[in-house]
Amino acid sequence: MTFVVWAYSEAEGVANEVASAADEIAKSVSGSAAVIDLDQERPGVSSPGRKLVLKASSPLADSPELAAEAIFRAAKAAGPSAVLLGATRRGREVASRLAVKMKVGCVSEVFRLKAGAEELQGERNMYAGKFLSTVACRFPCVATLKTGVLPRLAGRQGSVDVIDLGALSPKVRLLGRAGKKAGTVDLKSAKVIVSAGRGVKKKEDLQMIDELARSLGGVLGCSRPLSSDLGWLPEEHHIGLTGLEVHPNLYLAVGISGQLQHIAGIKDSKIIAAINTDKDAPIFQAADYGVVGDLYQIVPAIKKLVSGG
Amino acid sequence: MKIAVCVKHAVDESELRADPSGKPILQGAASKVSTFDKNAAEEALRMKAKSGGEVVIVCVGPAEAKKTIREALAMGADKAVHVVSDASGRDSLATSYLLWKALAKSGPFDAVLCAEGSSDTYEGQVPPMLAEWMALPYAGYASKIELSGSVAKVEQSLEDSSQTLELTVPFVASVVSEINEPRYPTLIQIMQASKKPMEELTPQQLSGPDAPTSLSRVLDTRVQSMNRKKVVFEGAPEETATKLLDALKAEGVIGA
Amino acid sequence: MESLYPDRAAEYGEVLSALGRYMQEKILPLSASYDAHSNSIAKARSELLKNGILQISHPKEYGGLGLPFSIYNLAIQMLGAADASIALSVAIGNTVAEGIQMFGTEEQKRGYLPRLVSGDALGSFSLTEPASGSDARGSKTRARREGGNYVLNGSKMFITNAGEADLYFVFAIAEKGPSCFLVEKGASGLSTGEDLPKMGMRGSRTAEVRFVDCRVPAENLVGEEGRGFDYIKAMLNGSRIVMGSICVGVAQIAFEKALEYSKQRTAFGKPISEFQLIREKIADMKTNVNAGRMMCLYASMLKDAGAEFSSEASQAKVFATEMSVGVCDSAIQIFGGYGYTTDDIHRHWRDARLLTIGEGTSEILRMLIASRELAHSI
């Protein structure tokens, strides 16, 4: 029996990431991969093999509940060994529902996938990112893939097959959608934090740093001088030995010299990055990635790349 | 209104240490109510305050989970159901099945609330799996829940948008931490929690022929290296900004 | 906990862990700002009191939890580590509640205890005067009986919670001698002064309290006229243990900060924690904090057992307060220049420094301890 891997995400960029993972896995076991589109074919989504377009009487892409049912019915007929989805919030719901419908295991937010003879293996963060686990799931299985890690498959396309699944109706009605308002995520649970230090010259300049934080999906923090001495930000934003201890996936220190008291508050971060004009600033000894440069040039440059890319 | 809150007896990740070989010291590790379960409990208590009724804490966990369950009861819940089961080897498919069966036995419920994910393993799979087992309407990542009669309007928080969903009662939802500020139980409530009814069930009592086996497992866990890479980029702003972003993407720390 | 209270360990443990979590999450993060802004703890203190910390050792019939005083003592040790100003303010409030519980009439207990214990009202212990601290009998505050009232004249100094309290427990000399009175906020003739600038414990309010023909109903006399000195001695016994415990908490947090710093700060190519002289400090700090903790716990267990404990309470306070100043001093030394220039490090020393003075100076307590020994050795 041939080994088939399916790939799906409701978000196009992520779909291409999952497609490239499916391609890798399929190649490693001399099998094949197919990409799922829902409702209609998406030209922006590539596939290393076929494309399966699933439709039904109700829109599927916006309904994780129906998306899972549709993929399940198609899978019953085709028997893929693995269904890979992007670990977006909706992707996790689709994957979880699919696992129950198929009565198979589901591993969450994995990366570095490998296919063994009997099972899919991958790695995932555990215990707030302090640890890394290798997890495994017997075939057939479902997995959600950590987004933003894999390269995106591009410019490939195989044959397109459309499958009409007939009448399906959701239990949940989507009434509307809006762009996100300014969040009030607290620093202790934030996954991305961009912090400002003395290198920021004026209180008004904090807006630029805050915008950078949001564009990276994160929140604004600061080192002690900005909260306690200058009062530019409330004490709740102060990170350090005498402020908050945080453990985000990414901590980006902008214009922060990196005194020990500050480092004490960020040492459990998964990745620490820094921007500072002084190449001897202690922050570079405590960081994974550092940029020696003027934050007033680097920050706009990053913002341009993030919004453009 | 009868509202169930699913609570996990979680490893306290802030206290978890690694042994010299890098493995987490789980034996005797500090434990706690999974952080965001408190948000789910708080939301349930607010719903009870508006509509009257009962809040039931449901937990699938080892014998030691009683302390965790009492903490959730102390917030103001009325009673608890404890399915006594060791965590090791039990995956989210098996956990959600046991929760379904326990809820079926103690229900029917108008709403089942869960956290968006647990603070120790953060898979976020149990709530939608539970909804699937129960064949109930589901909204994940709820930042607001408004009940009127037999309809719930839910604000769902996605990566960069917010959706408004309409669900009929009974329903299942997972909540995000932004939904509310969980209350701190008063000392009197702490003392009274142990007097509240706690029903104990076993997996054997609950499992039927439809019970799944645990199909996914953890092979190995090791501490992530804390040595910083100390890579420094110098050069023109556009160049260094690009290098920095690429490095961060490769690390998987930016993106959804 | 299991070895001390085999039957109730789980229950006591849950109360203390819940409190510990509350302090860690709600109080500790803002502690530096309470030092930075004088007289700033009112909201945080009120929320903490309403959570029930003063219910711990008071009887159930007045809204308490009826747990041992040692459990309250342990709670205060945690609170001292979270924020010393809030700990001081809350502890003084508890001293007033204890005084009423031990010596008040049934009416006074029913009238004041439930509110003090539930956190709806705050007490202030008004003993010290501008010209008399250790020498309480030298008090110049007079209470003159006039019909159905007492009229108080005099002033008190360095009073914690002055200006914020709902109830003042006032020591004054009446016709029959030293006596205690309950004076409610808003009583005519009662006024309080400006918040006094302090070197530490800045979050809490400390001021003068003045009585100018201040009328209180005769029913507000605590116990009997002339027995006031006995009452305050008994109240101070418990209060002194608590002051020691606040200092244990302060020393604990200063020690933890210094320990962490010593692992990260490098000199001559290695962390300073590798050097022997730093290790000596670490060992001594740890030993001293522990010793202080044990002395306070022991004295509170004697109190719970109904045994005589005034000497042990005094010993615990002398030791714990003095060792705390020393531990906080060592912490500054370990931090080096940063210790001297960072408010958030040296505030622990500034906070601890009060308590070798307040609620019984080390000197007067040594007199008490020695005279107890000499009396016994006859």
Residues in A closer than 8 angstroms to C265, CB to CB, are 260
Q: How far is CA B148 from the centre of its chain?
A: 25
The whole-angstrom separation of Cα B79 and Cα B196 is 6
For B190, which of C15, C26, C50 is closest by C-beta distance?
C15
Chains that touch B (3 or more CB pairs under 8 A): A, C
- The edge-to-edge listing of strands for the beta sheet with A219-222 is A219-222, A192-196, A250-254, A271-276, A289-292, B231-234
Residues in A closer than 8 angstroms to C257, CB to CB, are 241-242
In what helix (H) or strand (E) does residue C174 lie, and over which residues does it extend?
strand C167-174
State the count of interchain CB pairs (< 8 A) between A and C. 32
Q: How far is B234 from chain A (nearest CA, A)?
A: 5
Question: Would you give the DSSP letter of residue A181?
Answer: P
Residues in C closer than 8 angstroms to B71, CB to CB, are 14, 18
pLDDT at C377: 62
For A242, which of C264, C265, C344 is closest by C-beta distance?
C344
Residues in A closer than 8 angstroms to C266, CB to CB, are none
Q: How far is CA C330 from the centre of its chain?
A: 23
Q: How far is A164 from chain C (nearest CA, A)?
A: 54
Q: Cβ separation of C29 and A236 shorter than 8 Å?
A: yes
Residues in B closer than 8 angstroms to C9, CB to CB, are none
Percent of chain B with pLDDT over 90: 85
pLDDT single digits (tens) A240-291? 876 788 889 899 999 999 887 788 789 888 899 999 999 888 899 899 999 9
Q: How far is A145 from chain C (nearest CA, A)?
A: 33
Pairing relation of β-strands A289-292 and C177-184? unpaired
Q: If chain A, 309 residues long, is cut into consecutive pieces of 10 residues, what is the mean pLDDT of each piece? A: 91 95 94 96 94 95 96 94 96 98 96 93 88 94 89 87 92 89 67 94 94 92 86 86 82 92 84 93 92 95 84
Task: Please tell me which residue in C98, C164, C208, C359 is annotated as part of the active site.
Answer: C359
| Helix, strand, or coil (residue A173) | strand
Q: Is C359 a catalytic residue?
A: yes
Residues in B closer than 8 angstroms to C18, CB to CB, are 71, 74, 184-185, 187, 190
Chains that touch A (3 or more CB pairs under 8 A): B, C
Q: CB under 8 Å to C324, separation ≥6 — which residues?
A: C247, C248, C250, C251, C292, C352, C355
Q: How far is B63 from chain C (nearest CA, A)?
A: 14
Pick the range with the lowest mean pLDDT from A121-135, C192-206, C241-255, C354-368. Answer: A121-135
The whole-angstrom separation of Cα A134 and Cα A76 is 29
Mutate which of B69, B190, B198, B226 to test chain C, going by most C C-beta atoms within 10 A?
B190
Contact A261, A224 (CB under 8 A): yes
φ/ψ (deg, to 5) at B116? -65, -25
Torsion of CA C124, C130, C136, C137, to 10 degrees: -130
Q: Cβ separation of A217 and B217 shorter than 8 Å?
A: no
Cβ of B160 under 8 Å from any chain A Cβ? yes
For C65, which of B185, B187, B194 is closest by C-beta distance?
B187
Q: How far is C345 from chain A (nearest CA, A)?
A: 8
The nearest alpha carbon in chain A to C344 belongs to A242
Among candidate residues A187, A242, A177, the one with its CA nearest the CA of residue A213: A187
**Maximum CA pair distance of chain A?**
69
Cβ of B198 under 8 Å from any chain A Cβ? no
- Scanning A264-303 for CB atoms below 8 A from B yields 267, 270-273, 279, 284-294, 297-298, 300-302
Contact B154, B164 (CB under 8 A): yes
For B186, which of C10, C11, C52 is closest by C-beta distance?
C52
Q: How far is B100 from chain C (nearest CA, A)?
A: 30
| Helix, strand, or coil (residue C55) | helix
Cβ of B223 under 8 Å from any chain A Cβ? yes
The whole-angstrom separation of Cα C358 and Cα A76 is 78
In this predicted structure, the answer to whether residue B46 has a pLDDT above a threshold of 80 is yes
State the count of interchain CB pairs (< 8 A) between A and B. 278
Cβ of B24 under 8 Å from any chain A Cβ? yes
The whole-angstrom separation of Cα A239 and Cα A225 is 10
Q: Cβ separation of A290 and B165 shorter than 8 Å?
A: no
* Sign of the alpha-carbon dihedral angle for A98, A104, A108, A112: negative
pLDDT at A185: 54
Structure tokens at A232: 């530019």
pLDDT single digits (tens) B202-250? 999 999 999 998 889 999 999 876 688 999 999 999 999 999 999 998 8
Q: Cβ separation of A242 and C33 shorter than 8 Å?
A: no
Contact A124, B227 (CB under 8 A): no
What is chain B's Cα-based Rg?
20
State the count of interchain CB pairs (< 8 A) between B and C. 36
Pairing relation of β-strands A105-115 and A131-138? unpaired
Structure tokens at A118: 């009997």
Structure tokens at C324: 């705390």
- Scanning B53-72 for CB atoms below 8 A from C yields 67, 70-71
Among candidate residues A255, A239, A181, A190, the one with its CA nearest the CA of residue A218: A190
Structure tokens at A90: 């909706």
Pairing relation of β-strands C149-160 and C142-146? antiparallel
Query: CA angle C198-C200-C205, nearest 5°?
Result: 60
Pick the range with the lowest mean pLDDT from A155-164, C64-73, C179-188, C347-356. Answer: A155-164
Contact A151, B246 (CB under 8 A): no
Cβ of A18 under 8 Å from any chain B Cβ? no
Q: Cβ separation of B187 and C11 shorter than 8 Å?
A: no
* Sign of the alpha-carbon dihedral angle for A159, A160, A165, A166: negative
Among candidate residues B1, B9, B5, B205, the one with its CA nearest the CA of residue B101: B205
| Helix, strand, or coil (residue A87) | coil
Residues in A closer than 8 angstroms to C343, CB to CB, are 228
Question: Would you give the DSSP letter of residue A62?
Answer: T
Among candidate residues B5, B4, B9, the one with its CA nearest the CA of residue B66: B9
Residues in A closer than 8 angstroms to B246, CB to CB, are none
Q: Which residues of C touch B (CB under 8 A)?
A: 10-11, 14-15, 18-19, 21-22, 26, 50-53, 55-56, 65
H helices then E strands: how many in chain C? 12, 10
| Helix, strand, or coil (residue A16) | helix
Cβ of A68 under 8 Å from any chain B Cβ? yes
pLDDT at A182: 52
The nearest alpha carbon in chain A to B230 belongs to A288
The whole-angstrom separation of Cα A251 and Cα A228 is 21
Three-class secondary structure assignment of C250-303: HHHHHHHHHHHHHHHCEECCEEHHHCHHHHHHHHHHHHHHHHHHHHHHHHHHHH
The whole-angstrom separation of Cα A256 and Cα A221 is 11
* Residue that the structure tokens 């070895």 belong to: C3
Question: Would you give the DSSP letter of residue A254?
Answer: E
* Sign of the alpha-carbon dihedral angle for A257, A263, A265, A271: positive
Its pTM stands at 0.85
- The edge-to-edge listing of strands for the beta sheet with B151-157 is A173-179, B161-168, B151-157, B138-148, B171-175, B111-115, B2-6, B54-61, B79-84, B198-201
Among candidate residues B146, B170, B4, the one with its CA nearest the CA of residue B77: B4
Percent of chain B with pLDDT over 70: 98
First to last CA, chain C: 39
Cβ of B15 under 8 Å from any chain C Cβ? no
* Residue burial B218-229, b: 16+ Cβ < 10 Å; e: rest: beebebeeeebe
Q: Cβ separation of C264 and A260 shorter than 8 Å?
A: yes
pLDDT single digits (tens) B181-199? 999 999 999 999 999 999 9
pLDDT at C29: 83
pLDDT at B256: 42
* Residue that the structure tokens 């996605």 belong to: B158
For B91, which of A105, A131, A271 is closest by C-beta distance?
A105
The whole-angstrom separation of Cα C48 and Cα C234 is 26
Among candidate residues A193, A197, A156, A159, the one with its CA nearest the CA of residue A281: A197
* Sign of the alpha-carbon dihedral angle for C329, C334, C339, C343: negative
Cβ of A45 under 8 Å from any chain C Cβ? no
Q: How far is B196 from chain A (nearest CA, A)?
A: 31
Please provide the DSSP assignment of chain B as one string: -EEEEE--EEE-TTT--B-TTS-B--TT--EEE-TTHHHHHHHHHHHHHHH--EEEEEEEE-TTHHHHHHHHHHTT--EEEEEE---TT--HHHHHHHHHHHHHHH---SEEEEESS-TTT----HHHHHHHHHT--EEEEEEEEEEETTEEEEEEE-SSEEEEEEEESSEEEEE-GGG--PPPPPHHHHHHHTTS-EEEE-HHHH--TTPPPP-EEEEEEEEPP-----EEEES-HHHHHHHHHHHHHHHT-S--
pLDDT tier for residue C137 given thresholds of 50, 70 and 90: confident
The whole-angstrom separation of Cα A275 and Cα A199 is 9
CB atoms within 10 A of CB A143: 29
The β-bridge partners of C214 are: C152
Q: CB under 8 Å to A233, separation ≥6 — which residues?
A: A196, A206, A220, A222, A226, A227
Q: How far is A275 from chain C (nearest CA, A)?
A: 22
The whole-angstrom separation of Cα A192 and Cα B4 is 32
In this predicted complex, what is the ipTM?
0.90
pLDDT tier for residue C246 given thresholds of 50, 70 and 90: very high
